[in-house]
Amino acid sequence: MSLSVVWLDRQNAKIFNFSEEKMERVNLHDRHQDHHTHRLDQDEKESPKFYDEVCSRILAAAKILILGPGVGKTHLKAHLEKKFPALGLKVVGCQSVDHPTDDQIASIAREYFHMGAK
Protein backbone atom coordinates (compact mmCIF):
# COMPACT_ATOMS: atom_id res chain seq x y z
CA MET A 1 0.00 0.00 0.00
CA SER A 2 1.28 3.43 -0.89
CA LEU A 3 0.80 6.21 1.66
CA SER A 4 1.48 9.88 1.01
CA VAL A 5 2.04 12.80 3.33
CA VAL A 6 2.04 16.34 1.94
CA TRP A 7 3.23 19.27 4.03
CA LEU A 8 2.73 22.62 2.35
CA ASP A 9 2.65 26.34 2.87
CA ARG A 10 2.05 29.08 0.28
CA GLN A 11 5.35 28.49 -1.54
CA ASN A 12 6.64 25.03 -0.76
CA ALA A 13 5.50 21.44 -0.61
CA LYS A 14 7.25 18.46 0.88
CA ILE A 15 5.86 15.17 -0.33
CA PHE A 16 6.63 11.88 1.36
CA ASN A 17 5.54 8.71 -0.42
CA PHE A 18 5.77 5.53 1.61
CA SER A 19 5.64 2.04 0.17
CA GLU A 20 6.36 -1.29 1.79
CA GLU A 21 9.99 -1.08 0.66
CA LYS A 22 10.95 2.59 0.94
CA MET A 23 10.16 6.22 1.57
CA GLU A 24 10.66 8.81 -1.18
CA ARG A 25 10.81 12.57 -0.57
CA VAL A 26 10.12 15.31 -3.09
CA ASN A 27 10.39 19.05 -2.47
CA LEU A 28 8.46 21.43 -4.72
CA HIS A 29 8.51 25.22 -4.90
CA ASP A 30 5.74 27.42 -6.30
CA ARG A 31 7.51 29.81 -8.63
CA HIS A 32 4.31 31.63 -9.61
CA GLN A 33 3.34 33.03 -6.23
CA ASP A 34 2.47 36.72 -6.02
CA HIS A 35 3.81 38.12 -2.76
CA HIS A 36 2.31 41.61 -2.98
CA THR A 37 -1.25 40.84 -1.99
CA HIS A 38 -2.86 37.69 -0.68
CA ARG A 39 -6.50 37.18 -0.08
CA LEU A 40 -7.23 33.85 1.50
CA ASP A 41 -9.98 33.10 -1.01
CA GLN A 42 -7.55 33.63 -3.90
CA ASP A 43 -4.72 31.31 -2.79
CA GLU A 44 -6.24 28.25 -4.43
CA LYS A 45 -6.93 30.17 -7.63
CA GLU A 46 -3.41 31.61 -7.73
CA SER A 47 -1.68 28.22 -7.44
CA PRO A 48 -3.56 25.67 -9.57
CA LYS A 49 -0.39 24.62 -11.41
CA PHE A 50 1.42 24.21 -8.09
CA TYR A 51 -1.44 22.12 -6.67
CA ASP A 52 -1.60 20.09 -9.89
CA GLU A 53 2.11 19.35 -9.58
CA VAL A 54 1.64 18.25 -5.97
CA CYS A 55 -1.29 16.04 -7.01
CA SER A 56 0.74 14.45 -9.80
CA ARG A 57 3.23 13.26 -7.18
CA ILE A 58 0.62 11.45 -5.06
CA LEU A 59 -1.51 9.74 -7.73
CA ALA A 60 -0.54 6.26 -6.56
CA ALA A 61 -1.47 6.90 -2.93
CA ALA A 62 -4.01 4.72 -1.20
CA LYS A 63 -4.19 7.16 1.72
CA ILE A 64 -3.16 10.82 1.93
CA LEU A 65 -2.38 12.96 4.96
CA ILE A 66 -2.13 16.72 4.37
CA LEU A 67 -0.20 18.92 6.79
CA GLY A 68 0.65 22.60 6.91
CA PRO A 69 0.75 25.80 8.94
CA GLY A 70 -1.95 27.82 7.17
CA VAL A 71 -4.87 27.57 4.77
CA GLY A 72 -2.85 25.99 1.96
CA LYS A 73 -3.60 22.52 3.28
CA THR A 74 -7.37 23.07 3.10
CA HIS A 75 -7.03 24.65 -0.35
CA LEU A 76 -5.07 21.62 -1.56
CA LYS A 77 -7.75 19.32 -0.14
CA ALA A 78 -10.47 21.34 -1.92
CA HIS A 79 -8.43 21.27 -5.15
CA LEU A 80 -8.12 17.48 -4.89
CA GLU A 81 -11.83 17.05 -4.26
CA LYS A 82 -12.76 19.29 -7.21
CA LYS A 83 -10.18 18.38 -9.85
CA PHE A 84 -9.17 14.86 -8.77
CA PRO A 85 -12.27 13.54 -6.94
CA ALA A 86 -11.08 9.93 -6.71
CA LEU A 87 -7.84 11.14 -5.16
CA GLY A 88 -9.73 13.53 -2.88
CA LEU A 89 -11.55 10.55 -1.37
CA LYS A 90 -8.19 9.17 -0.26
CA VAL A 91 -7.48 12.11 2.06
CA VAL A 92 -7.65 10.68 5.57
CA GLY A 93 -6.53 13.75 7.46
CA CYS A 94 -5.76 17.45 7.18
CA GLN A 95 -3.85 18.80 10.17
CA SER A 96 -2.11 21.98 11.27
CA VAL A 97 1.62 21.52 11.64
CA ASP A 98 3.93 24.54 11.68
CA HIS A 99 7.34 24.03 9.98
CA PRO A 100 8.64 20.58 10.94
CA THR A 101 11.87 19.06 9.70
CA ASP A 102 11.75 16.24 7.17
CA ASP A 103 12.49 13.75 9.96
CA GLN A 104 9.60 15.15 12.01
CA ILE A 105 7.23 14.84 9.04
CA ALA A 106 8.33 11.24 8.52
CA SER A 107 7.76 10.59 12.23
CA ILE A 108 4.27 12.13 12.09
CA ALA A 109 3.48 9.89 9.10
CA ARG A 110 4.72 6.76 10.82
CA GLU A 111 2.66 7.54 13.91
CA TYR A 112 -0.46 8.53 11.95
CA PHE A 113 -0.36 5.46 9.71
CA HIS A 114 0.85 3.13 12.51
CA MET A 115 4.03 2.19 10.65
CA GLY A 116 7.19 0.93 12.26
CA ALA A 117 10.47 2.83 11.87
CA LYS A 118 12.24 2.31 8.53
Q: Which CATH number fits domain 3-112: 1.10.645.10, 3.40.50.2300, 3.30.420.60, 3.30.70.1060?
A: 3.30.420.60
Q: What is the pLDDT of residue 84?
A: 95
User: pLDDT-derived band of residue 117, with 50, 70 and 90 as boundaries?
Assistant: low
In the chain, domain spans: 3-112
Q: What is the pLDDT of residue 68?
A: 96
DSSP annotation of 116 reads P
List C-alpha distances in Å: 102 to 25, 26, 56, 80, 83.
9, 10, 20, 23, 28
Mean pLDDT computed over every residue of the chain: 87
Instruction: Report the percentage of the chain scoring pLDDT > 70.
Output: 84
Q: What is the pLDDT of residue 40?
A: 47
Tell me the pTM. Answer: 0.84
26 Cβ contact list (under 8 Å, min separation 6): 14, 15, 17, 57
